[in-house]
Structure 1
Amino acid sequence: MDRRSALRNVAILLGTAISAGTTDILFSSYTLPESEKNAVNFSAEQLKALTEIADVIIPTTKSSPGAKAAGVGKFIPMMVRDCYPAKQQQSFYNGLAAFEARAKKTYKKSFALIPLVERKKMLTTLRQETLDQKTNKIPEKADLTYFFTVVRDLTSLGYFASEIGCTQAREYLMIPGRYDGAYPLKPGQKSWAT
């Protein structure tokens, strides 16, 4: 099974946790012309910001490492450059640049360098702006809210497609028995990854 097929399967398993736009990209990315790939280049500072954004979305807990440990910070730009059409890559890039500019304007530092409390505050604000954008449709915020939707979706996809996401964040049984859709879970048990 190739990488795209595996990611498509994970996207289906995650269901509505991933937006329709991201699911559509994954299902149609095999037809993406080579000339559309790698339309943007991310700076080292932007890659660090993506890593920290992913880690705020899925942080480390007592029971499992977070998105940073799972390598989601490298997964996001790879997926954007390999699977998204050039126009969406540029929109994502513009949104990331606007988000970084907002961090620098507010805190005089890159997103990756501000305290965790402030990171959470910035992402909470961006999440609300993204929800508001569905009804308000403010053209100036289109790239920024598109960026948030994609980074949120790819964080979930990358994390739960990773070894850490499959084996530590969820209950994992290497050699499963027969399927039983009504199998009782113990109190506090994680959901199954297989």
Structure 2
Amino acid sequence: MSLIDERQDFSTIADLFLLHSSMQSPAFTDGRLCAQLAMHDIDPAAWLAEVCGVLGVEQPRDESSAERFLAWRRQTLEALSGSELGYEPLLPDELFSLGEHAQGLKEWTLGFLEVIEDAGEAPREAWSTSLREALEDLSGIAAMPDDLEEDAENEDDLFALVEHVRMAAMLLYTEQHPGQPQVEDTESTTRH
């Protein structure tokens, strides 16, 4: 299995950031990536340039790093555009504390919303009420506390918030790319 085929998860990308002397969490950058791909795409060269800017380097340190950054973009695009609706935000996994997971979700949401804000009002006028409401909810998620106690209720709540973020991202992608993926339009099928 090559680096290109290997799934890029949070720990893999965080290690890659560390390799480039960055202590930043990749969650914020993943939120930006998701929103850019959903709104208008970002080509591989522009993506590499953005990641390098985040890391404060002129270019990836080696070919392997560049391949992983590009695989991250490709993996995200494939998940957003796939008919199985399998997109997952790049967030800390079960190896991290609930507080770290919450912080990652906040950072992801802030990155995602930054791209939405930069797009201005024009694209929003064509968005469904469902999408606008989902995106408004993300502002609340971005403001949540990240000092969560480790308990089952907080874990369930965080899981629900991640699912909401995931659905908002996929809804944005499907509205900006009609017909991709081929999914049923729930808003039009509920009207009689």
TM-score (norm 2): 0.30
TM-score (norm 1): 0.30
Which structure has the greater CA radius of gyration? 1
